Amino acid sequence: MIRHAVPYVAASDNCCCAIQTCGGLIPDSDCPDHGAKKEPVMAWHHADSPTCLEGQASRRERRTR
């Protein structure tokens, strides 16, 4: 199961992390926003967990408005 995270702070245009369908991301160690040098606070969850599914539903809902 893949763990990924939702950062508490918005990413800049320089973010090079892999964005997930729930809005979370898999941090890239070289990312200037989320990499090993920054290590920001993030809410971690597993793929297809209730948290992830809620995030996916929320993003779908926002796109249909």
Q: What is the pTM of this model?
A: 0.73
Domain count, the chain: 1
Q: How many CA atoms does the CB half-sphere of 16 hold within 13 Å? A: 7
Reduced to 3 states (helix: H, G, I; strand: E, B; else coil), residue 15 is: coil
Residue ranges making up the domain that contains 35: 3-63
Distance of CA 42 to the CA centre of its chain: 8
Taking only the tens place, the pLDDT of each residue in 13-33 is 999 999 998 989 999 999 999
Taking only the tens place, the pLDDT of each residue in 28-58 is 999 999 988 887 888 899 998 999 999 999 8
